[in-house]
Amino acid sequence: MRSLRHVLRGQAQVDFLPSAVTGAFFSVALFAAGWAYGLYGLLGTATGTATAHLLGVARDRIAAGLEGFNACLVAVGAAVFLGPGHPSTALLAAGGSVVVTAVTAAVARVLDTWQLPTLTLPFCLVATALTTAAPGFARVWHGAGPTAALPRPAGSPTGPAFTDLWHGLLANVAQIFFMPQWYVGALFLAGVFAASRTAGVMAVVGSATGTATAWALGAPAAQLASGAAGYNAVLVAMALCGVFLPAGRRTAAYAVAGAAAATVLTPALTALTAPSGGHAFTWPFVLTTLVFLAAARAFPRLEAGSP
């Protein structure tokens, strides 16, 4: 039972929440998207958590789920981008979940020099390496997606329908786990609110900021509706107001600025990763949050939590 709680907290920590209840919501959401994704999520989180335990990682980190969330994303990402029905995908998901535990420890030691969190940087490193290398191995690559997605200029913006906008507000939350369904996002968001009202509100604020920014800049309606344009904004907003910086009016405004910046950065990183399929993962969230957290030390009113 204790191990199950650690695994569920690991899933919840994708959104910074050490709550087994939230993890249960997240697991249900993944199963709602597809039974295979639910299984891969549990497989990855359990493998990463068990690996950390075997390697002697501090028990408080394991109990809080901090050793499971990157592994969860690696496993679910492998299922999405390599196809969940192949034995090779399952092996790579399990292997990647082991490797990301070591990468997490290495990244933590480096970033600790500047007292910065690891966030999902370990996942980004492993997932980028995995998807870049996969097409070079016939027993791994099964035509699950294009090997190249060269960027093209956006066409004339077409106004999204109201349905696209409200679908996008929820799908932004689901796309953190690579899921484009709005109802899956609703389940994820319910899990966030179950653990913290502040986190839930900031997730909504981040989602709205991401959608509004992408819409204002002329992003395609399909990207808005699927959450592909705004998911990084959700994580940035939560991180900068209530997680790594105290909640308040100033940090909320700071978080909105960060969320907008991450939204703009997303297509840039998608273009940079075009040769391997254009997978930005959560790189925009990681880079934006690390920069904004480092900068926050120059702004005493943010770190002091002034209202």
* CA distance linking residue 13 with residue 84, whole number of Å: 23
Distances (CA, A) of 9 to 15, 46, 151, 199: 10, 11, 38, 15
Radius of gyration of the chain (CA): 18
Residue 304 has pLDDT above 90, yes or no: no
Q: What is the mean pLDDT of the chain?
A: 92
Question: Quick one: which of 126, 71, 128 has its CA closest to 98?
Answer: 71
Q: Look at residue 220 in the predicted model and tell me its pLDDT.
A: 92
* CA distance linking residue 304 with residue 134, whole number of Å: 46
* CA distance linking residue 226 with residue 63, whole number of Å: 33
| Positive or negative torsion for Cα 171, 81, 240, 296 | negative
B/e letters for 266-281, b = 16+ CB within 10 Å, e = fewer, are bbebbeebbebbbbbb
For the stretch 58-85, pLDDT in tens is 999 999 999 999 999 999 999 999 999 9
Q: What average pLDDT does range 52-56 have in this prediction? A: 96
Question: Quick one: which of 235, 230, 204 has its CA closest to 219?
Answer: 230
Task: Please give the model's pTM, rounded to 2 decimal places.
Answer: 0.94
Q: Look at residue 157 in the predicted model and tell me its pLDDT.
A: 58
Q: Look at residue 155 in the predicted model and tell me its pLDDT.
A: 56
Question: Which positions ≥6 away from 44 have C-beta within 8 Å?
Answer: 68, 71, 72, 73, 74, 75, 76, 93, 94, 96, 97
Q: Look at residue 302 in the predicted model and tell me its pLDDT.
A: 87
B/e letters for 282-295, b = 16+ CB within 10 Å, e = fewer, are bbbbbbbbbebbee
Q: Look at residue 174 in the predicted model and tell me its pLDDT.
A: 98
pLDDT band at 42 (very low <50, low <70, confident <90, very high): very high
* CA distance linking residue 20 with residue 11, whole number of Å: 8
For the stretch 267-293, pLDDT in tens is 999 988 877 677 899 999 999 999 999
For the stretch 107-116, pLDDT in tens is 999 999 999 9
